[in-house]
Amino acid sequence: MKYQKDAAAIIAAVGGDENIASLYHCVTRLRFGLKDNAKADQGALQAIAPVMGVNDAGTQYQVIVGNDVPDVYRAIVAELPRLASAETVDGSGAGAASGAGSDAKADGNLAKRTFARFLDFISGTFAPILPAIAGAGLLKGVLALINAFGWVDPTSQTFLIFSAIADAVFFFLPVIVAISAARKLGANPYVAGSLGAILVYPALGTLLGAGDPVALFGIPVTAVTYSYSVIPVLLGVYLMSWVERGFTAIIPSFLKLTFVPMLTLVIVAPITLIALGPLGTFIGNGVAGGINWALDNGGAPAGFVIGALLPLIIMTGMHYTLVPFILQNLATLGYDKFLPLTYVQTFATAGAVFGVFLRARNKQVKALSLSTTFTALMGVTEPALYGLALPLRRPLIASMAGAGVGGAISLGLGVKAYVLAGNGGLPGLPGLVGETFVWAIVGIVVAFIVSTVVSMILGIDESILARTAENAPAAAAAPVAATTDATAAVSGSTARAASGTLPVPTGTVLGEIVSSPMTGELVSLDDVPDATFSKRIVGDGTAIRPTDGRVTSPVDGEVVTVFPTKHAVAVRSDSGVEVLIHVGLDTVNLKGAGFTSHVAVGDRVSTGDLPLDVDLAAIATTNDTLTVIVITNSGDYAVDPGTTGPVRSGDALIRVTRAARTTEGAAV
């Protein structure tokens, strides 16, 4: 295999087999879930031939490879087959964590490692299933809103059917959680799903709920209702991962298919019903009760502290640890008081970057802050937090101030959320519909206003964002004087120059004009809130804030990559220029939702053909739609991207040449 040696080197550089919990890849990078990011050797990774760069994103350790990432991924899986044996929910082939069976190392702090593994297990279990929970939760919120306004008869068959659609996910939550937890632990997800189904089996529920004593082999079985629960099945699947692993090791191969699952269920299911289920219910009720006591009695001071810390908590992923208890509150109490604080944090972050927009003088900073304000209001705060708040620092302080004040109002007035809508922005507001809805809106609005005002008062140091531009490669520097005859400068492709886009020089040979694949506003690659692109690890180019979802071919040539999730496509021109179009940031996580591909690898395309359609409105509810266009083999060329300003699909966008600049000593 071509990358066999490189794969072994990458595995060693990220801390070895025992440090890898999961792995999948997007169009340009390997996305590792490491048990300890500190064990990865960034210098060693960057010395490996196919590795173009490294990005430590906290919950993910990203190794940027570029176009060859599928081949490198397959080489790593060939070295560590377990990474492909338990594919993730999104089908990306991410491996399961081996945390259940891996030995703890003697070095480091045991408590810290244990908590990190617990956090990774919880986040890795609930993150993949949140779309299902959020979708059903939002539908429950919409139904509650419709019912509150009296727009429908709640006893009608139509309403009852839609209520069943919204509630089924939560009723059978043990099944869904079991499958996800098993994937994370490296156990068989379908056997785990069977364990979850046993807990919610109607006949068993009827037996336990009849009021008569129930015993198994003479051992009493506590009457517990497991529908809507999560802790009992988590304990059961954890035990199952060990039992299954033990039977797999001792049972002959020709008997494993039937005997391992049967014996695993025969042992684990009774233990879960007799001991782990009641224990999990007790733990869940106890922890949830403690959290609720703090939320009920802490009042405004507790709301201020929790709200102010939420931006930091969310950035570290620690909020995932509360998901089981939030779900338990919603199931047992019908409401939760922590969820409203997440809405407050979302709008506080939006207000902080909106304050940057009002205060900034640099046009690029204003454009970035306005776009991230919009995405934050839609419930996606990562571009605002990582693109502006963290680099500029003062907006982060402003968001903490706004979230603190909004949290004080929310908790002080007892605001409640009634469903887990999965979105703390405008689309998720139906989750707050209920008796405290008005006060919820007050807390949100105040959080936004306070963050905006504090952000404006603190001001910003725009030079922090400008430093990247100062260090940009010379190939992206000043454009050459324009000419009205683009064809005199280009061989292999033609394009029309537009106002604000690429000036086309005369006298250039062995070059090409790459046309704009979308209509929108040009954004410098320096301002893309993703280091993989802004640092030009994948290649040089530009970005577009699109206003139209049509993605056209930028050159005449051959389609060389269509990513399975359809969020990215690469075309190699007839002269050898390789153009990657990556629609949106982190859109690999959408698993193809909102994207329609019209081409396959090997297809011939001409400039202006339509390889891809994108539902921008749908994507914008969860992700930044900023689209990156880069020349992935830019090491072979001088690349001049267009200037900022409006651009139309088909306009001249990037000039790519092999010649050296002869005008005033600059490179062409």
pLDDT band at 462 (very low <50, low <70, confident <90, very high): low
Tokens of 164: 């069943």
Nearest to 38 by CA among 94, 91, 113: 113
Rounded mean pLDDT of the chain?
A: 79
pLDDT band at 487 (very low <50, low <70, confident <90, very high): very low
Residue range 208-227: mean pLDDT, rounded: 86
Q: Respond yes or no: is residue 582 known to be catalytic.
A: yes
Strand partners, 550: 613
pLDDT band at 140 (very low <50, low <70, confident <90, very high): confident
CB-based contact 343:440 (threshold 8 Å): yes
Report the percent of the chain where pLDDT is more than 90: 24
pLDDT band at 78 (very low <50, low <70, confident <90, very high): confident
Nearest to 232 by CA among 328, 100, 326, 337: 328
Strand 645-647 and strand 520-523: pairing?
antiparallel
Please determine, for residue 343, whether its predicted confidence score (pLDDT) is greater than 60: yes
Q: Catalytic residue among 319, 567, 582, 598, which?
A: 582
Residue range 194-201: mean pLDDT, rounded: 94
Give the pLDDT score at 319.
65
CB-based contact 265:372 (threshold 8 Å): no
Give the pLDDT score at 548.
87
Residue with tokens 């201020």: 304
Please determine, for residue 87, whether its predicted confidence score (pLDDT) is greater than 60: no
Sheet of 638-641: strands edge to edge?
511-515, 652-657, 638-641
Give the pLDDT score at 474.
34
Give the pLDDT score at 491.
32
CB-based contact 338:386 (threshold 8 Å): no
> Which 3 state secondary structure label does DSSP give 45?
helix
Give per-residue burial for 646-667: e unless 16+ CB within 10 Å, then b: bbbbbbbbbbbbeeebeeeebe
Rounded (5°) CA angle 376-382-384: 55
End-to-end CA distance of the chain: 38
Half-sphere exposure of 481 (CA within 13 A, CB side): 5
Q: Respond yes or no: is residue 567 known to be catalytic.
A: no
Residue range 126-142: mean pLDDT, rounded: 76
Residue range 136-152: mean pLDDT, rounded: 80
Among 64-73, 78-87, 212-221, 616-625, whose mean pLDDT is lowest? 78-87
Give the pLDDT score at 451.
95
The CATH class of the 473-657 domain is: mainly beta
Please determine, for residue 88, whether its predicted confidence score (pLDDT) is greater than 60: no
pLDDT band at 199 (very low <50, low <70, confident <90, very high): very high
**Distant-in-sequence, close-in-space partners of 634: CB < 8 Å, separation ≥ 6:** 475, 536, 539, 540, 541, 656
CA distance 117 to 120: 5
Q: Catalytic residue among 26, 319, 567, 598, which?
A: 26
Give the pLDDT score at 447.
95
Please determine, for residue 66, whether its predicted confidence score (pLDDT) is greater than 80: no
Residue range 537-551: mean pLDDT, rounded: 89
Give the pLDDT score at 453.
95
Give the pLDDT score at 569.
92
CA distance 663 to 657: 14
Give the pLDDT score at 551.
94
Phi, psi of 375, rounded to the nearest 5 degrees: -65, -35
Please determine, for residue 667, whether its predicted confidence score (pLDDT) is greater than 50: no
C-alpha 604 chain-centroid distance:
33
Give the pLDDT score at 222.
87
**Distant-in-sequence, close-in-space partners of 169: CB < 8 Å, separation ≥ 6:** 132, 133, 135, 136, 176
Tokens of 493: 């492709």
CA distance 575 to 572: 8
CA distance 294 to 308: 16
DSSP annotation of 101 reads: T
Residue 93 burial (10 A CB sphere; 0-12, 13-18, 19+): buried
Domain borders along the chain are 4-85, 110-316, 335-466, 473-657
Dihedral of the CA atoms 612, 617, 619, 621 (nearest 10)?
180
CA distance 122 to 125: 5
Residue with tokens 């809508």: 421
pLDDT band at 387 (very low <50, low <70, confident <90, very high): low
Helix, strand and coil content of the chain, in percent to the nearest 5, comes to 50, 15, 35
Residue range 409-437: mean pLDDT, rounded: 86
> Which 3 state secondary structure label does DSSP give 81?
coil
Among 20-29, 338-347, 380-389, 474-483, whose mean pLDDT is lowest? 474-483
CB-based contact 334:326 (threshold 8 Å): no
Please determine, for residue 452, whether its predicted confidence score (pLDDT) is greater than 50: yes
Please determine, for residue 377, whether its predicted confidence score (pLDDT) is greater than 50: yes
- Cβ–Cβ contacts within 10 Å for residue 473, how many? 13
Q: For the domain 4-85, what is the CATH code?
A: 3.30.1360.60
Residue range 369-382: mean pLDDT, rounded: 81
Residue range 546-560: mean pLDDT, rounded: 90
User: In this structure, which long-range contacts are made by residues 288-297, counting pairs with CB atoms below 8 Å and at least 24 apart in sequence?
Assistant: 288/325, 288/328, 288/329, 288/332, 291/322, 291/325, 291/338, 292/329, 292/333, 292/337, 295/337, 295/338, 295/411, 296/337, 296/414
Strand 511-515 and strand 520-523: pairing?
unpaired
CB-based contact 308:403 (threshold 8 Å): yes
Per-residue pLDDT tens digits for 257-315: 889 999 999 999 999 999 998 888 888 777 767 777 878 888 899 899 988 988 877 66
